[in-house]
Each structure stands twice: as C-alpha cells, then as structure tokens.
Amino acid sequence: MRTMAEDALSIGLFYGSTTCYTEMAAEKIQTELNTLFDSPVVTLFNIKDVPLKKAEQFDVLILGISTWDFGELQEDWESSWEDIKSLNLQGKTVALFGLGDQLGYADWFQDALGMLHDELAILGCDFIGYWPNEGYDFIASKGLTEDKSYFVGLSLDDENQYDLTDQRIAQWCEQLLGELA
C-alpha cells in the first residue's frame, strides 16, 4: 500500500447525479481508493454544489457522469458544461467513470462519458483508467476509444449489471493505482 505522504497526491472526485446511482458509485470509488492509498486522498464533490473551477486545485481528477435518455448529459453536467472550456487542466491526470443503460438505450450507451472525454481532451489532460469493452451488450457508444476496444473510462450499468458494479470499481481502482505509480 502507498501512503499519502509518499505520494503527496491530491485527488478530487467530481460527479453529477440525478438518481443517486452516480453518487453511490463515486462514494464507492472514494472509499476504495482511500483504502488502497491507506490515506484519505480522495475528496468528493457534487458539481451541483461546487463549481468545476475547484477541480484546478487537485493533482488528479476523477469525474463521474451518467448518460440520460438518447445520449444526453446528466442535468448537473449540462448546467456546468460551458464552464469546462474555461478550466486550466493542462497536464492534469484525469480518470472518468460513467453510468448508463446498455439495454434500454443501446444506441447511446455511455455517450455522455465520451462527450466529457472529448471536451476535456481539448484542454490537454492526461487520461488514465480506460476500461475494456468486454461483458457489455450495446449497439453504439460515443464513450469508446477510436479502435472501439476500450471505454474512455470505467463503464457501469446499475440498471442491468448492478451485481458487477462493486467488482468493476475495485478492479478499476487497482488499475488507477498502477497507472498513477
């Protein structure tokens, strides 16, 4: 295990949540990473209550977003979307996670995740935490890498695969720990 003193990292986890599923995933990620680091390195923020500008204060960012309906942004992210362009995140390490419904909205699964990734890529962020596109059943997604073998962040589907969420979060947090080393 690594300690905060050894790493001197500050990790800000920012999320938007309408139905609390993204919030619950964010809390699980915070708990898992704090356990892996053996220190409370992850600070949690709901973007409904905290301006995105606060993200500039952290070394590492984890951002959580859900896709709504036909590939739409979650409402808190939609309200803050224009603020992203003004952020100074050049060289920041960023990991993303998204929630979506792969069966009910198979043509738009994780679209908001991909939209957030593309918006942040313009700012010069360094991304970690890409997630394999295995074990999902959907038609199309803006959340995939160019070669379509990975999602641009952890992909969760609490509607259809809730039983896999905790395992995926644990594996992803271990992956992040390795990529941050």
Query: What is the average pLDDT score of the chain?
Result: 94
Domains along the chain?
Answer: 4-180 (3.40.50.360)
**Which amino acid, one-letter code, is at 151?**
F
Report pTM. Answer: 0.94
> pLDDT, tens digit, for every residue of 166-176?
999 999 999 99
In this predicted structure, the answer to whether residue 5 has a pLDDT above a threshold of 60 is no
> pLDDT, tens digit, for every residue of 19-34?
999 999 999 999 999 9
Cα distances from 80 to residues 7, 41, 70, 76, 116, in angstroms, run: 31, 25, 19, 6, 11
The answer to whether 57 touches 13, Cβ cutoff 8 Å, is no
